[in-house]
Every structure is written in C-alpha cells, then in structure tokens.
Structure 1
C-alpha cells in the first residue's frame, strides 16, 4: 500500500495543473498523480494542431461563461476567482509567454505544445509531485477517513482525492458506484456530414459570416462557415454542435439546417437583386458575384437557382430572382451524420453539476473528493475554453485542499 496525502487520478491538463498548484501551495503534503497511459498530457500535445490553445482572450467572466453550453451558470463564481488573466500570469511566471491570435485564441509564443508539457513536467518535479504512469484505476472506496484506490499495479491510500480524468466512461462508472449521478455522455464539437451538389465541387471555400439554424428547433449560431470534402465545418457549425449536442444526438444526427449566407432578410436580398438586374443588365449573373461572397460559392448558388452560366441579369424572370434570394438567405441542407473535429474529442456529459460545490470543486456527497476539468458535465466551444475550465477548477481545488 502506497500512502499519499493527495492523489490526483488523471495525468492530463487538469490533473497536472491541480497537482502542481497543490504541491506548491502546501509543500508539506505528499502529492501523486495516477495516469493510465505510458505518458500524460496527451490532449495538451494535440490541442490546437500541436500548438496547444491554452486559453482565450476573454477577460470578462460573464462573457467567458457564454462559451460553455453546459456549465455557464456554475462557472461564473469560479471565473471570478481564477480566469484568463490569471492563467496568462501563471504561465508567464514560469517562463512560458503566451500570444493572442486574431480570433482571440491564445498559444505559447513558441507555437509548440511541448513548451506547456515541459513546463508541467518541470514544475511537477520541482515541487516533488510523484507521477505513476501505466496505472489503470480499478476501484475507489472509502472504508474510513482515507480513500483506497486499487490500480492495475498497486494499492494506494490518501486522505484527499482529485478526479481529473476527462471524458472517461470507466471513471464515470466508478464514480456512480460511489453514489454520484452521471449525465449520459454525447459527442460535442463535431462537423456536419452533407452530400449536396451545391458544395460537392467547392471544398475549401469559406463564407466569412453566415447564420445557421437547425430546422424545427431553437438552435442557431453565426460565424464563418467552411465547406469541406464531407460537408460543413468552422465556428458557426462547431458552436451549433456544442450547444445542440444533446438534441442532435436525440435526432441521431439526421436533420436539416437553413443557412443565410449574407445575413439579410429574403425581402432585402430580393430588392438588391432587382437593383442588380437593372444596373448589371448586360452582364451574366454567373460572373458578377454579389454580397462579397466567395466566387465559387456564388457560382453554385446561381446554378442551383435554375439560372444558367450564360444568363444575363436583364433576362432573369421573377421566379429566378426569388430562387436566388432563397438560396442566399434560406438555403436548406440535409445533414446526415457527423465527423470528429480534428483530434479534439469533446464530450457533453459527466458528473452532475448539482452534486458539486463550485466554491471548492468538492463533492457534496463525499467529503475530500474533488473534481477538475471535463470529468464534470461541463464542456465548451472550440478556442481554448475547455482548457480554461480545467485551469480554473484545478486551481480552486488546490486552494480548497488545506
């Protein structure tokens, strides 16, 4: 039996951040991490295409919480304790400088996730955190004041335990045996699979600002839209997939979306097209792109409106004008399935938030059991927000463990 004061289960972002801060704030405590893989921080390594999207340049707690489909209400208090500015300062104090990109995402100046990994490994070593790799947790019990944890290699005991295993169904099952409720996991952050003649020949095209609605629901979002080989991606779609995670899963990822490519009403669009009919009378519709749309997208929407590549503006009839206005403002696409967004597996689901004290991130059911990161039913849109949740929870846990 290996005895420690604090055991962190999970050697990912939240686990390492919790361990380092606990050991630094409470040097008298013996702190250990149990990690199931041969090495830790796997998600940190692949995040942001290997650059590690550490956080997002949003400095107002209320605004920051809006990026969490699950956890918005619960994270408001915690973000007043530790959020973006604190994250930046934490890393800079330890020699890791961050930079802000145009879209608000923040990365290490080195553009390498290895910088973050090295920082964590060095800090863990410096503060005497012991890391046990290839230790798969088999059971957790609390026969007395101490927890007993059985792994594939040994038995451990500790007075305090932090669970930071991310979206791990086996760990959720173990937490259920301890009396916690688990919100059933469904994928979040995914792209839409769509087969449609309008987009099959134009992968790589980006419509800079669209509105997307899931028909028959209240779900909608706005932002850039990317045409891919398999359908649609980019922020407008990823936001929808995150906020609609549960509803879209219930529909088995078969639904229709309506896209407004120009963010204007059908009526306003029609008026502008009528003006173009007079002003550009002798030109072909196909070759005179309107509304600052990408040329290749305009071509496809024109053809989809029963307008040939040779048709001049002057020759458009009422039906063709209306068809084109409809394609621009109310284009309907059938979604048939989803694809994972890059390597960033994000899941909606986890420990029920009603069972957590968000002042301390401690279980309301089991004393001295703490949580950090995506093991809780908290998830975010893409852009560094899931990591910020991990840093915030882990830091507050470190403050609470005294």
Structure 2
C-alpha cells in the first residue's frame, strides 16, 4: 500500500531542504515528504567551502551573475530577476543566520561553520512539519494520470507533484530518462590541473596573482590568480577554465597544453621592460631580484628555464636570453596530464536538457507536475557559491510554482 503525500521531494541536499521548507511554510495544509537515500542529508553543504559553506556570492546584478554559469547562462537570467543573491541573504537572515562577505566576494555564515546552515534547515523543516525520510533510496518512478508512484527501498509513495533535487546522481538521471527526458551525459567540472613540470615541482603554495591562461588550440581562456599545488595548478583562473571547458577538456581526455602569461604584458612590451632592467640593474644577479610583482620562487624558476645561470648578472644577458625570459613570462607552455577534484567538492556538467525545462516555473516541459531544482539539470557554475545560488533560486521558484498551481 502506497503512502500518499501532496508533494514529494527527492533529494535531501540544499535545494531539496530549501524547497521543502518554502512549500510547508507558505502552505501548511500541504503534506510534504523529503526522500533522502543516505542516513543523513545535506552532506554537500557540510563539506562545501572547506566546511564553512560558501552560501552564495556577492554579485547583485542578474546580467552579471549569469556570466558565472558555463551552462545555464541564458536560461538563468529570468529566474535571477525573481530570486537571487539579495533574496538569499534575506531568507537566511530572517531565520537567524547572518552571512558575511569576504574580499573575493564569497559569502559564508558569520559563524564560519556549515553546521549553522544545516542546523537552520533541520530546525525549519521540523518547525513546518516537513517529513524527512532518510535511507529512502528511490528505485523507480512512474507518471500516472493522477500524479506519480515512487518505489523506494523503504516502501512506495504516491504524490500529485514531485520535485527532483538530487544533484548529480546517475541513478536518478536514468529514471528521469526513462520518463521521457533527454539527459546530457555528465562530465566533471570545477577541477584542478595535474602538471608535472620542473618549473613548478618545488614551489607549491606560490601564487601568481593576475595571470592569463589559454588552452592551446582552443578558444578557452581565463584570467586571475593561479596557485601552484603539489600536483599541478589550481585557484580561480584554473577553476574557471575547467568549468567553461568541461566538455571540451573531457573530449581531450584531460591531456592538453596550456599557455600562461604570468604578467599580462605582450612579448614586445615585456622585452622592452627587460632591456630597461638590464640597464638599471646591470650589476645585480638576475635570479635574485624578482620583477613584475612575481613571487621570488616563481621568478627564479622562470629565469632558470630561460637558460640563465643562477649567478648571471643583468649586464651579461644576451639577446637570446632576454627573449627566452620574455617568452617564459608571457607565454610559458605547460603540459596538463590529468585532473584532480577541487577539494572535496565534486561538480559535474550534465543532466536534464535545458530545452526541456520551463525556467519560469522549473517544471518539466514533458511531464506535468514534475519539477527540478539544483544541479539535476544541466547547469553548473565556476565556484561553489554560484552553484548554491542556482540551488536556492531554482528551489524557490519551483516550490512557489508547486503551491500556486
């Protein structure tokens, strides 16, 4: 015998809880059940932002915010005019959670703990009688004339309306595909680059603050900080490139070359600067005096890679050495041999085809009364805070649509 609910939400993550709370709060007469396959929910919230939870990002103009979504940029413009960053801040503050903005625009709870967000969700869900059913793994879902029948590991359910907010879940995607939707095959997004190169082998932790990076042979390009890690490179410039290039880099099997301009000058301008240095610092050792605001350890490695001995003075540099150094500074090529997950956060590009979603309501265009929220659809962003904002926005609009229809 099936348990009957007005609304069933599949997925006990950020979007699922957000939507369930909104529905139960705005219409207490509706019975809402949230099905979570694990023994506890909100695990991605728990580990996000290094355990601090990067709730959103301090970008308050919809037309600017959408540029942070490699997939979904066009589709999210309308939704962000309905619910975006300022609304997210207000939603949490109204429930006692203060957010703070960091220098790079990321926003975290003032407590610096993701547990604050988790506690808020659990409290609000209990307060508004949301039934949270853990260890309920969905096995099948059928669309009926009167709604949906859902078979789980703990029993069967029936509901007039269903929201799927499971994130990147291949099993659920398979079920959605079985209902008639197109699923864009998922590939990793938001990852760091594995690079084995003697220029960076011994300098992990070094940051080039304002570099320009290109994937050789493509139109992929980004700008910003680059962090040298124990296995290669990370930081915003790399992560943005990995997000916007997710599909293309997957086709390359993560074996490609990148070209880095560490100083944001073209070759000729850089060479002119180096000639000035040769005059001004003639008696100084090249390797000991870094320029262009580059970290000393990185400068040293680029000098050595230019076949300039570590005791060479500026006055003794020949034309070939100056040109070689200019090349290293403005167009250093590195071979990428693989990828690594960014911290503990795993983001994918892929999911329900965006053409099959009504972005005014986040309802399926193919199956009435079926709604989506979060990364279950083919939307992803350049960092965690933007991914969360997509979760809040889609969950809010979908939950409001469920109540109104």
Whether TM exceeds 0.5 here: the answer is yes
CA contact 2:259–2:333 (8 Å) conserved in 1: yes
Once the two structures are TM-superposed, the CA of residue 143 in structure 1 deviates from its matched residue by 2.6
Query: Which position in structure 1 is the counterpart of 2:74?
Result: 73
What is the match of residue 163 of structure 2? 162
1:266-324 CA distance string (max 9 Å, x none):
00000000010011101110111110100000000000000001000000000000000
Aligned twin of 2:210: 209
Counterpart for residue 40 of structure 2: 39
Equivalent-residue separation in structure 2 for 1:288 and 1:40 (angstroms)? 53
Instruction: Show the 5 A alignment for 1:88-107.
Output: 88-107=89-108
Q: Which residue matches 1:138?
A: 139
8 Å contact from structure 1 (residues 25, 398) kept in 2 = no
8 Å CA contact retained: 1:189, 1:238: yes
Q: Shift in Å at residue 25 of structure 1? A: 1.1
Alignment of 1:3-402 (within 5 A): 3-402=4-403
Please tell me whether the aligned partners of residues 56 and 108 of structure 2 are also in contact (alpha carbons under 8 angstroms).
Answer: yes
- Following superposition, the deviation at residue 253 of structure 1 comes to 0.2
Equivalences, count: 402
Give the secondary structure class of the aligned counterpart of 1:324: helix
Deviation at 1:144, TM superposition (A): 2.0
Please say if residues 32 and 130 of structure 1, whose CA atoms lie closer than 8 Å, have aligned partners that are also in contact: yes
Instruction: Report the 3-state secondary structure (helix = DSSP H, G, I; strand = E; otherwise coil) of the residue aligned with 1:336.
Output: strand
Provide the rounded CA distance (Å) in 2 between the counterparts of 1:258 and 1:143: 54
Distance in 2, matches of 1:231 and 1:325, equals: 22
In structure 2, C-alpha distance between the alignment counterparts of 1:395 and 1:283, rounded to whole Å: 62
Please state how far the C-alpha of 1:383 moved relative to its aligned partner.
Answer: 4.5
Whole-angstrom CA distance in 2 between matches of 1:124 and 1:65? 30
Change (3 A) 1:340 1:359: same
Kept in 1: contact 2:16–2:34 (CA 8 A) = yes
Secondary structure class of the residue paired with 1:239: helix
Ranges in structure 1 where 5+ consecutive residues have no aligned partner: none
The answer to whether the Cα contact below 8 Å between 1:13 and 1:390 also exists between their aligned partners in 2 is yes
CA displacement, residues 39-74 of structure 1 (integer Å, 9 cap, x when unaligned)? 000000000000000000000001000000000000
Task: Quote the Cα distance in structure 2 between the aligned partners of 1:70 and 1:352.
Answer: 10
TM-score, normalised to structure 1's length? Answer: 1.00
Structure-2 change in CA distance of 1:383 and 1:43 (3 Å):
closer
Residues 71 and 377 in structure 1, CA contact (< 8 A), matched pair in contact too: yes
Kept after mapping to 2: 8 A contact 1:4/1:32? yes
CA distance in 2, matches of 1:142, 1:288: 69
Mapped partners of 1:303, 1:388: distance in 2:
45
| Contact persistence 2:356–2:364 (CA under 8 A) | yes
Please give the alpha-carbon distance, in whole angstroms, between the structure 2 residues aligned to 1:14 and 1:178. 22
Q: In the TM superposition, what is the alpha-carbon distance from 1:198 to its structure 2 partner?
A: 0.3
Aligned equivalents of 1:177, 1:198: Cα separation in 2: 50
Per-residue Cα deviation, 1:166-217 (whole angstroms, up to 9, x for no partner): 0000000000000000000000000000000100010110011100000000
Structure 2 portions without partners, runs of 5+ = none
TM-score, L = length of structure 2: 0.99
CA contact (8 A) 1:370 1:397 kept: yes
Runs of 4+ in 1 over 3 A off after TM superposition: none
Contact 1:105 1:383 (8 Å CA) reproduced: no
